[in-house]
Structure 1
Amino acid sequence: MKESRSEFIDAHGVRLHVRRWGPPDAPMLFMLHGWMDIGASFQFVVDALAGDWQVLAPDARGFGLSDWPVARSGGGHYHFPDYLADLERLLDHFTPDAPANLVGHSMGANLALLYAGVRPERVRRVVDLEGFGLPAARASQAPGRLAQWLDDQRTPPTLRSYASLDEVAERLIRTNPRLAPARARHLAQFWSREEADGRFHLLADPAHKMRGPTLYRLDEVSATWARVTAPVLHVEAKDSPTLAGFAGQTPVAEFKQRFEAFADWREEVIDDAGHMVHHDQPERVAALIAAFCA
């Protein structure tokens, strides 16, 4: 495996961890992980990348080795504007004078696509790995969502702990049965940490399990996507279960009409993969990234 090194950047009082591979003078790729994941998740794609690339994969706030925004006792609050501000801080630090290549998985893909619309001049390419956006919300859902959020404040969520790294690896395989045991074991050591009680705790703020108080406004998202000038490569697993879940009763083709907002959008479909395409087919994903961002 290619070796990585850790760096820490301050983002508005929150210390963000960035995992970095490759020579410092090579072209940059910023890789943004998904929900309940970490920057080290891209190890297998990095290993498969041909040529010289400098890959920077931050742990989003509240994940991995990045800070929780507030004291551990209460957990943090996580909203997309916070993630956008963190990403801008990272780009200000690492590439202040050149547009960036953004690669995002799931939540990270949605972050990359939104940022590319908010700051189109700062983004050169976007590779969207299984990022679809959420189902469109209705205004009538707002009271219930706010009530649920208030209820959640009374009983903060928790995350279970594990007796060993092997148990953490088994947890990863249950989530993604395609994940090879050796890869699961590798990820487990970055996904968790042994604490004073002798058990392995996931490196994630349990507050991430709380649904936010605001609705997903597809019209606002589409207006932002329409401002993206960078070419966008959408990479999707064949018969993606995540896409099917988001689409629900809506036909998939109709659900994906939202992508018509992008001026330059193209798609690649990967066989024998699930939502974690970067774990299931890292060689194929790496080849697509390298060709698209070259």
Structure 2
Amino acid sequence: MYQALKPSRSRMLPMRHLNYHTRHWGPDSSPLPTLVLLHGWMDVGASYQFTVDALAQERRIIAPDWRGFGLTTGAPVDHYVFADYLADLDLLLDHYAPGEAIDLVGHSMGGNVAMMYAGVRPERIRRLVNLEGFGLPATRPAQAPRRYAQWIDEIKQLHAGGLELKHYDSQDGVARRLMKTNPRLSEDKAQWLAGHWARPNAQGRWEILGDPAHKITSAQLYRLDEALELYKRITAPVLSVEASDDSLGQWWKDRYTLDEYHQRLTHVAHCRTAVVQDAAHMLHHDQPARVAQLIETFLDEA
């Protein structure tokens, strides 16, 4: 199994009727800006361990488990609202980095949160690295009636027990699942991730540390016009990092392309892109040393 070079510390913070779990690396204070790492959908903060291990500089690093993921706990809910991630991040920063302009890294859903938050609270972000946080295809108002109906139907399905996440017979079974999804993931890293991504239940079956309610489609359509207004208000320099495998094209085909995403990034005042070769969507697992180098070089620029 993978051996972490920089072991993390777990902390719990009572916040917004939740017990919010955060993972910490490095000293509790540092001359360098605090680095905050935001994980993606159906992932956990520990997912950044390989990248943290590859960072050369010693600095304060914090990675939360989003609500409904990992070790963050709270009262049961039957759906999640994206705006809550912005409020959660704001309160987490108020507690762990009050008055500080932080360095922010987000992967996938976490990258989308990071971009939106940087437009809402531009003064809180010094530099931002977006790892494959592409946003979503543009929508039309005419899609709203069908979307609301879908949302209602999926909530009914959840309460009927129809949206459960798959269980596994062992940690090894979870690791095999991770390796099937990401063929570049080595077995030692998959075994390590499995121990943070899932836990055995009372029956001894390994359950993913993610709430099935996350599978419910958002009732609100993705508003591209709103997203671009937030992009325009980002004042921090932004590095947008993509994997060479073009996961965006694989997901959405011609509904949403990298060219469209790059056009959206022209609304960010200070933004450039980088590509990580021989990597797919989980690029921080596939090429952690390269991702760490890109992050560190960007954060260190004058």
| Normalised TM-score (structure 1) | 0.96
Q: 1:159, 1:202 within 8 Å by CA — same for their partners in 2?
A: yes
Q: Which position in structure 2 is the counterpart of 1:162?
A: 168
Pick aligned residue for 2:12 from 2, 8, 14? 8
1:216 paired to 2:222: yes
1:204 paired to 2:210: yes
- Any stretches of 5+ residues in structure 2 without a counterpart? none
Aligned counterparts, 1:266-281, within 5 A: 266-281=272-287
Question: Displacement of 1:252 after TM fit?
Answer: 3.2
Pick aligned residue for 1:92 from 91, 94, 100? 94
Residue 148 of structure 1 aligns to a residue whose secondary structure is: helix
**Residue type at the aligned position of 1:140:** A
1:29 paired to 2:35: yes
- 2:183 and 2:133 map into 1 onto residues whose CA distance is 20
* Deviating more after overlay: 128-137 vs 245-254: 245-254
Residue 266 of structure 1 aligns to a residue whose secondary structure is: strand
Pick aligned residue for 1:46 from 52, 56, 74? 52
**Residue type at the aligned position of 1:185:** Q
Question: Displacement of 1:243 after TM fit?
Answer: 4.2
**Residue type at the aligned position of 1:293:** L
- 1:161 and 1:268 map into 2 onto residues whose CA distance is 37
Q: 2:137, 2:256 within 8 Å by CA — same for their partners in 1?
A: no
Q: 1:109, 1:129 within 8 Å by CA — same for their partners in 2?
A: yes
Question: Displacement of 1:41 after TM fit?
Answer: 0.1
Q: Which position in structure 2 is the counterpart of 1:17?
A: 21
Q: 1:169, 1:181 within 8 Å by CA — same for their partners in 2?
A: yes
- 1:135 and 1:89 map into 2 onto residues whose CA distance is 29
Pick aligned residue for 2:62 from 53, 56, 64? 56
The CA deviation string for residues 165-221 of structure 1, in whole angstroms up to 9 with x for no partner, is 000001111111111110000000011111111111111100011101000000000
Question: Displacement of 1:158 after TM fit?
Answer: 0.7
1:286 paired to 2:288: no
Question: Displacement of 1:249 after TM fit?
Answer: 4.5
Q: Which position in structure 1 is the counterpart of 2:72?
A: 66
| Normalised TM-score (structure 2) | 0.93
Q: Which segments of structure 1 move beyond 6 Å, counting only runs of 4 or more?
A: none
Question: Displacement of 1:97 after TM fit?
Answer: 1.4
- 1:85 and 1:92 map into 2 onto residues whose CA distance is 11
- CA-based RMSD of the aligned residues comes to 1.2
Question: Displacement of 1:292 after TM fit?
Answer: 1.2
Q: 1:135, 1:247 within 8 Å by CA — same for their partners in 2?
A: no
